[in-house]
Amino acid sequence: MNVYLDNNATTRVAPEVLEAMLPYFKDEYGNPSSMHSVGGRVKKEIEAARAKVAELIGADPQEIVFTSCGTESDNTAIRGALEASSGKKHIITSRVEHPAVLSTVRYLEKRGYSLTELPVDRQGMIDMSEYEAAFREDTGLVSIMWANNETGVIFPIHEMAEIARGKGVVFHTDAVQAAGKLKIDMKDTPADLLSISGHKLHAPKGIGVLYVRRGTPMTPFMLGGHQESGRRAGTENVPYIVGLGRAAELAIAGMAEENTRIKSLRDKLEKALLEKCPDAMLNGHPEHRLPNTTNISFEFVEGEAILLMLNREGIAASSGSACTSGSLEPSHVMRAMGVPFTAAHGSIRFSLSRYNEEPEMDYVAEKLPPIIKRLRELSPFVKK
């Protein structure tokens, strides 16, 4: 059996999405900026896709800007908002952000910006009193993710954005993991900027979205033509935009399933592994997290070894550890949460999608415990 449980890294392109895209590789090949009817038909489909993405997050279609990926959306939001912020050079973020955000703000810090990285507690949550105290007169931007990619922990974005708005500060949220899994309504949530990545919700890699609330000051990151109402130059990636629109439709239709059936499968797997594997612990908040995500640490073993042995059994998951320059380091998220050293290296993330089924959870629950037992027998950290 082959079991794919790495959907927070990327998802399978839905067959319905691929079907919607195919005509725009072959028959409908016009440039949407062209004045003739061949381009006009394509332009019409881009605007239809824009409306579908807007519906997914409760936005106005004119607030949707198509980009190449979530990373571009994050970079555009952060750098574009700060450049338009009248010289305010203080940024607030968290220690558990995706590298697309952390790398960008740390780059800016080296070039004269001031940066506050908020800590999280053992369950991956931010202290709201610390958040509010972090604001300064020169704070120009807040960037806090909607949901963490490693643990699934959900942050109180509505409350955080309200505080920022009350202080006159632009608020950006990386919603790459949340979009399509959680209900998002930007008419109710006072965030100014929001990032989405298509390949996290069954669209292809290479398409993203930046939501820009009407009236939010922004300097374009990509300069050139007039595309995207002058907010992002470059000829539109038409097949992928159409595909993302179809994926948004599917996500809206499947939201209830995401929060019931998929959550039930996640809980079944999580319960079995915590019961069958001694010295295993859940990383992240048990309730305030995405319905498809669980992150479990298996003490005294290395995550990479677990993943290699799971792969031999046809199981794809991901580790909270990364091998850098030949030395093993726990992920920055596990370190920020204060996960013990003996457990941080053995953290495994299982992330489900609509294509997972119950027999797959039974299979993983059967195969993983013997792997953990075998690795602990070989571990120098376990007393023999």
Residue 178 covered by a domain: yes
Query: For the chain, how many structural domains are there in total?
Result: 2
End-to-end CA distance of the chain: 34
297 lies in which domain range?
Answer: 259-378
| Claim to verify: residue 167 and residue 284 sit in the same structural domain | no
How confident is the model over 233-289, as pLDDT tens digits? 999 999 999 999 999 999 999 999 888 999 999 999 999 999 999 999 999 999 999
Q: Are 33 and 39 in contact (CB under 8 A)?
A: yes
Residue ranges of the chain with per-residue pLDDT less than 50: 321-327
**Does 217 lie in the same domain as 353?**
no
Q: What does the H/E/C string look like for 242-309? A: HHHHHHHHHHHHHHHHHCCHHHHHHHHHHHHHHHHCCCEEECCCCCCECCCEEEEEECCCCHHHHHHH
Q: Which structure tokens are listed for 128?
A: 């709201």
In a domain, 383, yes or no: no
For the chain, percent helix, then strand, then coil, each to nearest 5? 40, 20, 40
**Structural domain contains residue 2:** no
Shared domain check, 372 and 233: no
Q: Specify if 123 maps to a domain.
A: yes
CA 10, 248, 103, 145 torsion-angle sign? negative
Same domain for 66 and 23?
yes
Please tell me which residue in 223, 308, 323, 328 is annotated as part of the active site: 323
Whether 26 and 124 map to the same domain: the answer is yes
Q: Please say if 323 is a catalytic residue.
A: yes
Closest CA to 247 of 5, 4, 90, 12: 12
Q: Which residue type sits at 280?
A: A
Written as six digits, the tokens of 340 are 């013990």
pLDDT single digits (tens) 189-235: 999 999 999 999 999 999 999 999 999 999 998 899 889 888 999 99
Q: Which of 221, 253, 285 is the last residue of a domain?
A: 253
Per-residue model confidence (pLDDT) at position 83:
95
Note whether residue 40 is domain-resident: yes
In sequence order, which ranges of the chain are alpha helices (DSSP H)? 15-21, 23-26, 37-57, 70-83, 99-109, 128-133, 157-166, 238-258, 261-276, 303-312, 332-336, 341-344, 358-378
